[in-house]
């Protein structure tokens, strides 16, 4: 179909899955990734932009794509402070979204988080909600917001809190049935697939995909 994609966060757990599935998709003829370090992957469709994300305007022309997939993010612990977390989870992706829109992007597909809300009393969820609102109001033809639960996948890096959550999500998956199903862990393979399928629908407006919808067959 000759569409082009821009992927933010390609080196992460979700981003890597999105990248593999985007490269395998017949819909896309070119997949651009903006990364801090080159990926250990080469593919004829892959176009890599290495950046320190400090001067985003300098890479603007390279952000040209039909569909933008955003899997970028950090944790407050890893970033070191709430302010540093906000730079990665709000400032950089919202600025990149604006620049990609200026370059003609039509759709923005965002990996956000369960519980995201700009009015949330929880800082993490509030920042996630603020990014959701910002990209929703920018003027993309379509915005798809995905709100997964704890992500399930093969993460190399150790994150204690997440490891406990993942253990519980996998070990006690039988508990996440019926009304609790929406809290079940979200396999990143499924999440990436749903994000790419959403883009292929060519819908208009803002659509929010909660975890139970992501997990639905």
Ligand X SMILES: NC(=O)c1ccc[n+]([C@@H]2O[C@H](COP(=O)([O-])OP(=O)(O)OC[C@H]3O[C@@H](n4cnc5c(N)ncnc54)[C@H](OP(=O)(O)O)[C@@H]3O)[C@@H](O)[C@H]2O)c1
Active site (annotated) includes residue 124: yes
**Measured distance CA(27)–CA(3) in Å, rounded:** 6
The closest residue (CB) to ligand X is 12
Output the smallest distance, CB 105 to ligand X, in A: 19
Active site (annotated) includes residue 183: no
Is 71 a binding residue for ligand X by CB under 6 A? The answer is: yes
- CB of 93 within 8 A of CB of 70? yes
Phi-psi region at 209: left, alpha or beta (left = phi > 0; alpha = psi -120 to 50): beta
Nearer to ligand X, 30 or 128 (CB): 128
**Continuous H helices in 68-139:** 76-79, 82-86, 92-102, 123-136
Is 129 a binding residue for ligand X by CB under 6 A? The answer is: no
Q: Can you tell me which of 62, 162, 210, 212 binds ligand X, judged by CB under 6 A?
A: 162
Is 73 a binding residue for ligand X by CB under 6 A? The answer is: yes
Which residues are near ligand X by CB under 6 A?
A: 9-15, 36, 53, 71-74, 88, 111, 113, 148, 150-151, 162
Catalytic site positions: 124, 128
């Amino acid at each position: 179909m000759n569409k082009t994609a821009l992927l933010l966060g390609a080196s992460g757990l979700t981003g890597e899955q999105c990248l593999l599935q985007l490269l395998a998709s017949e819909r896309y003829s070119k997949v651009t990734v903006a990364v801090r370090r080159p990926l250990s992957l080469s593919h004829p469709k892959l176009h890599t932009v290495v950046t320190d994300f400090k001067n985003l305007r300098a890479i603007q022309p390279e952000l040209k794509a039909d569909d933008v997939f955003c899997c970028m993010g950090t944790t407050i612990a890893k970033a070191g402070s709430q302010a540093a977390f906000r730079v990665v989870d709000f400032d950089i992706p919202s600025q990149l979204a604006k620049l990609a829109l200026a370059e003609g992007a039509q759709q923005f597909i965002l990996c956000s988080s369960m519980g995201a809300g700009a009015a949330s009393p929880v800082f993490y969820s509030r920042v996630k909600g603020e990014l959701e609102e910002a990209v929703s109001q920018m003027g993309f033809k379509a915005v798809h917001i995905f709100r997964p639960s704890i992500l399930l996948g093969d993460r190399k890096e150790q994150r204690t809190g997440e490891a406990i959550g993942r253990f519980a999500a996998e070990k006690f998956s039988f508990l996440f049935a019926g009304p609790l199903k929406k809290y079940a862990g979200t396999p990143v393979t499924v999440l990436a697939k749903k994000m790419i399928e959403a883009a292929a629908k060519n819908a208009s407006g803002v659509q929010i995909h909660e975890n139970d919808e992501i997990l639905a067959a």
